[in-house]
A and B are shown apart, each in its own frame.
Chain A
Amino acid sequence: MKLRAFSLLALSIMLAGAPADAQNSTPRLATEIERTPDGKPKLDGIWQALEPANWDIRPHAARSGPLDALGASGAVPPGIGIVEGDEIPYQPWAFERQRENEARQLELDPEVKCFMPGVPRATYMPHPFQIFQTDQYVMIAYQYANAVRTIHLEDPGPAPTSFWMGWSVGRWEGDTLVVDVTDQKAETWFDRAGNFHSENMRVTERYTLLGPNHMLYEATIDDPEVFTRPWKISLPLYRRVEARAELLEFKCIPFAEEIMYGHLRKGATDDE
């Protein structure tokens, strides 16, 4: 009797200690779609894409990556693709350019240099991002390269110049946030496979909550300079529900400095 009581006491003491750990490890799922004081669905939170679109937005089988030394670690995972209709409608010259981009990925992909990824690529990088929603702005902070966007809900006027993350103006259509992104630098790519656009591209994004922990992301690409018609991507975004979910720092500049400036290092030979 005494022993059992003692065991129960010991057990209850152990369990009393558990909540601190539980608080640290129990995921926090949203249970309903919350609304802001002005009645809009709350898009706030930390979100991330799972579809490996950053490797290649088109449907593709697994294939080796650009660096043999990484072996299977550097390989491209297979993807069902995020392009509606599966095909990117390039003009013939543009299709040749995309193939050249793909062949020269290490040299040309802005991601290798830690350049800001632009829109829509920032949305499906293998990093979380966080949305902050007010009645004047929707701010999106991306873990990747400390990139950040201001989506103006009040007309900010025309873009003063072009930007890596574009110039974003948003509006609500029912429960969908629609964002027009213009004036994006031509140097950004859609993925590592060299899919590209011109400086005149217009992206129309749509953010729609599918439930408290899932969002549908759609983007229509309108760029008559490069494509034969507008085309569209779509993929779900998943709320990061870990109790300790937060954006950490991914300042990738130091990781890119050797590849960018190594040829200017003292002692680097001319033929490097």
Chain B
Amino acid sequence: MRTAKRKTALAAAAGACFAAAGFAGAQVFDPDYAVPRTPYGQPDLQGVWSNAVLTPLERPADLADKETLTEEEAAEYARQRREATNRDRRADDSQEDILDAYNDFWWDSGDNIVRTRRTSLIVEPRDGRVPNLTPAAQARLAELRVRRDPPEGPEDLSLGVRCLYFPHAGPPMLPGSYNNHYQLVQTEDFVLIVNEMGHETRIIPLDERAPIPAEIRQWRGSSRGRWDGDTLIVETTHRRADTPLRGSGENMRLIERFTRVDDDVLLYEFTVDDPESFERPWTVQSPSVRAEEQLYEFACHEGNRSLEAILAGARAAERGNE
């Protein structure tokens, strides 16, 4: 069982390494760190990693001009974020209280903000916000089938509620509610990433094979990987049109980069290259921290009582209104 104490201890241990490094732009990590090698001589990125972090994806409006915090500001900000993300708060409104659903024990919001003390995970553009959508993307999103509320069938519920696709696992991987763990395994010609959320399994060939045919579109797209020095670069295309990432389209090209910067830190970055949808590309930087635990099976669909309950509740409400 993951306990709050254990998570804090691990994060504190990792954090101690970087407190000494001071802040100098991106030089929070030791530039002389020598990445261990796998038996095949490649940089070893393997392990169970966690993406949980307090820093939000986009810079909050009240920090609009602040790209980075000072050490003092960072400590206070982290404290505020912990409080804001604590699910054990009670809401005054009973509806909102019910919607908060899980109490804090279930939540994996992270214990720390990013070591660089940036105020957002988005590092490009400099304002830390997702770029504006193009008119074409706005029109396309308006045309996507509107989900009916109350839901008439499963198709009116979110992909996560249907256990089909989760923003944690993506790709790209983003910090989420819980199940932020992923396991990375390397063989000579493949990298395998198993995301605990939804047991989303990504197989990344390193053997320079041709892409799959354009007719095949997948929830997780199709990935191809290569080494660039000690960095694993993964390009993903062939995405379905109905899994937008903040408004992205089916021709999105996602470029992820994995670099081991310390024994316990895997620097994860991604760039969304989708000129049809966004006015400019955008890049996220989010360190993954080594987790002590193993991945457990997340049998989402097999145990999905809530989808049943949501639909049954909608039907009961209709009968009540008759």
Contacts and interface: CB of A to CB of B under 8 A. Distances in A.
- A and B assemble together: yes
Interface residues of B, number: 47
A37 B40 contact: yes
Interface in B163-186: 163-164, 183, 185-186
B194 A257 contact: no
Interface bin, chain A: 35 or more
B302 A133 contact: no
Nearest to A24: B210
Interface in B208-224: 209-210, 212, 216, 218-220
Contacts of B189: 44
B153 to A, nearest CB: 5
Contact of A141 (B38, B164, B203, B209): B203
B299 A261 contact: no
Contacts of B185: 132, 134, 137, 139
B194 A148 contact: yes
Given A148-B201, A244-B209, A261-B153, A139 B186 contact: no
Interface stretch (B3-11, B26-34, B245-253, B308-316): B308-316
B311 to A, nearest CB: 4
B187 interface: yes
Contacts of A72: none
Interface string A245-271: 011110101100100111011110000
A123 B161 CA distance: 29
Contacts of A165: 297
A204 to B, nearest CB: 20
B202 to A, nearest CB: 9
Contacts of A82: none
A173 to B, nearest CB: 21
B294 interface: yes
B218 A249 contact: yes
A260 B46 CA distance: 38
A164 B302 contact: yes
Contact of B308 (A139, A264, A266): A264
A112 interface: no
B79 interface: no
A89 B185 CA distance: 39
5 smallest A-B Cβ distances: which pairs? Answer: A264-B311, A266-B152, A37-B39, A249-B218, A163-B297
10 contacts: A44-B190, A132-B187, A132-B192, A161-B296, A164-B302, A187-B302, A248-B218, A253-B301, A265-B153, A266-B314
